[in-house]
Amino acid sequence: MESYIQTLGIRAKDASRLCAKLGTEAKNRGLLAVAGELRSQSAYLLEENEKDLKAAKEKGVKQSLIDRLRLTEQRISDMAEGLTQVAALEDPIGEVLSMKNRPNGLRVGKKRVPLGVVGIIYESRPNVTADAFGLCFKTGNAVILRGGSDAIHSNLAVTKVIKGGLEKENLPQDAILLVEDTSRATVGEMMKLHQYIDVLIPRGGAGLIANVVENSTVPVIETGTGNCHIFVDASADIGRAAEIIENAKTQRMGVCNACESLVIHAAAAEEALPLIAERLNAHQVEIRGDERAREILPGIVPATEEDWGTEYLDAVISVKIVDSLEEAIAHINRYNTGHSESILTKDYDNALKFQDEVDAAAVYVNASTRFTDGFEFGFGAEIGISTQKLHARGPMGLEALTSTKYIIFGNGQIRK
């Protein structure tokens, strides 16, 4: 007897076979139908979302989480608009990446195909339900979504509306499956379902991601945590450096590509640090510095070993003074999470050396770390930002949701 989750796995695998066969035109038709359905069912979506909001308030959930949980006319319209944009993107499926003739006459080609079944485990944003569906559907995958219990009414409603759109176009409704049982056990079971799920993408806080990485037997793409550094080299343009750092730290504080730590060359620190501090003070950012930073800015908080490894996601930044580029690179490679790092410099050799030797998904020269994002990189969409090196690294667009298959055309070849 199959468990509830196994049944979902089997249904998803079956649906994935159907989705893989859909042409671009059918997939786009589906996406637009779902977008229309979301818009026309907004009253129903708001009504169901209200149930989650009410329960969250009764439970005393904090305001920032309630804000994330909330659907509004605008957010529903944004979900629909997102699906419309995904429909307009080029379909990566079916592209033949290479085709070569072998000496024995075999033609060996490599073709882009769907992954199959994508599993997504996420927290309380109900818009992820529609966004993840859109990217998976466009790439011919079926998706199993496991959202948080806080958002269950919203997620059920969004899923129902999406299925309604698919039904109108006679497309497989099991292309999206929501795990309706939000007990912890279902997450555990989902993580062991490698027979049916081809990849699991956790989207949420560090605790959720660590749990999935530790316990999943399904291949995982680790996303999100960003302890991002900016290194101010000896030759940096100080005015520009202050502006970039202000942007990277304060343009949005709670995101993974925000700057969490400054590394400053000693030769630039005395001039740069007061200027940077002034910019950050205007946004009430707390600065935690090492001993040398505190000699320049006596008022700041001492940084501890723990600070170097912390992703604050808040109005705090750490500062370390170094004597060389090599020391900066070693510090960053020791404490970073492999997300986004930037060097501010006028020195050509240092720019290239930093870019070569810092081990991260995105390494910048003279720009804010805030650009690590699928839309900013020109992918038109994003399912998350991978901080691992396997399969996809950095912002993941549609291609990250595909695999390849070798297609071989012969005329009777046997191996000698």
Q: Which two tokens stand for residue 253?
A: 């504080």
Q: What is the closest distance, in whole angstroms, from the C-beta atom of residue 186 to a copy of itself in the complex?
A: 19
If one asks whether residue 96 binds a copy of itself (CB under 8 A), the answer comes out as no
Q: Which stretch binds a copy of itself (CB under 8 A): 4-12, 42-50, 81-89, 374-382?
A: 374-382
Residue closer to a copy of itself (CB basis): 203 or 294: 203
Cα distance between the two ends of the chain: 47
Residue whose token pair is 């991978």 = 386
Q: Does 300 engage in binding with a copy of itself (CB under 8 A)?
A: no
Q: Which of 149, 217, 281, 304 binds a copy of itself (CB under 8 A)?
A: 217
Helix (H, G, I), strand (E, B), or coil: what is residue 172? Answer: coil
Binding to a copy of itself by residue 413, rule CB under 8 A?
yes
Which pair of structure tokens corresponds to residue 290? 């090492």
- Which residue of 48, 364, 381, 397 would you call a contact of a copy of itself, by CB under 8 A? 364
Continuous segment of H or E residues that includes residue 213: helix 206-215
Residues in region 146-165 near a copy of itself by CB under 8 A: none
Among 151, 361, 381, 398, binds a copy of itself (CB under 8 A): 361
**Considering the rule CB under 8 A, would residue 377 count as an interface residue with a copy of itself?**
yes
Closer CB to a copy of itself, residue 54 or residue 389?
Answer: 389
Task: Give the Cβ contact number of residue 126 at 10 Å.
Answer: 31
The CB-of-231 to a copy of itself minimum distance in angstroms stands at 14
Shortest distance (Å) from residue 381 CB to a copy of itself: 16
Interaction of residue 221 with a copy of itself, rule CB under 8 A: yes
Do the beta carbons of residue 38 and residue 165 sit within 8 Å? Answer: yes
DSSP 141-161: -EEEEE--GGGHHHHHHHHHH
Name the minimum Å distance from CB 295 to a copy of itself.
29
Interacting positions 12-41 with a copy of itself (CB under 8 A): 17, 20-21
- Judged by CB under 8 A, does residue 363 bind a copy of itself? yes
Closest distance to a copy of itself from the beta carbon of 41 (Å) = 33
**Residue 312 CA to its chain's centroid (Å):** 18
> Would you count residue 305 as binding a copy of itself (CB under 8 A)?
no
How do strand 394-396 and strand 340-344 relate by DSSP bridges?
unpaired
| Total residues binding a copy of itself (CB under 8 A) | 66
Binding to a copy of itself, residues 176-205 (CB under 8 A): 194, 198-199
Note whether 284 binds a copy of itself by CB under 8 A: no
| 283 interacts with a copy of itself by CB under 8 A | no
* Distance, CA of 233 to CA of 72 (rounded, Å): 45
359 lines the binding site for a copy of itself (CB under 8 A): yes
Task: Please report whether residue 407 would count as binding a copy of itself according to CB under 8 A.
Answer: yes
Give the number of other Cβ atoms within 10 Å of residue 34's Cβ.
31
Q: Which of 214, 211, 183 is nearest to 5 (CA)?
A: 183
Is-contact 108 102, C-beta < 8 A?
A: yes
**259 near a copy of itself, judged by CB under 8 A:** no
Contacts 24+ apart (CB under 8 A), 393-401: 393/361, 394/361, 394/362, 395/362, 396/221, 396/223, 398/86, 398/89, 398/92, 398/135, 398/138, 398/139, 399/92, 399/112, 400/221, 401/114, 401/115, 401/118, 401/135, 401/136, 401/139, 401/141
Interacting residue with a copy of itself among 58, 63, 100, 349 (CB under 8 A): 100
Residue 169 makes contact with a copy of itself by CB under 8 A: no
Q: Pick the stretch among 122-130, 151-159, 291-299, 390-398 that binds a copy of itself (CB under 8 A).
A: 390-398
> Least Å distance between CB 378 and a copy of itself?
6
Residue 128 CB burial class (10 angstroms; 0-12, 13-18, ≥19): buried
Cα 382 to Cα 379: distance, rounded to the nearest angstrom: 7
If residue 264 lies in a helix (H) or strand (E), which one and from where to where?
strand 259-265
Segment interacting with a copy of itself (CB under 8 A) among 26-34, 166-174, 177-185, 357-365: 357-365
**CA 105: distance to chain centroid?**
43
Which residues are at the interface with a copy of itself (CB under 8 A)?
17, 20-21, 100, 102, 106, 108, 115-116, 194, 198-199, 213-214, 217, 219-221, 237, 240, 243-244, 246-248, 251, 333, 355-357, 359-368, 370-372, 376-378, 388-391, 393-395, 403-415
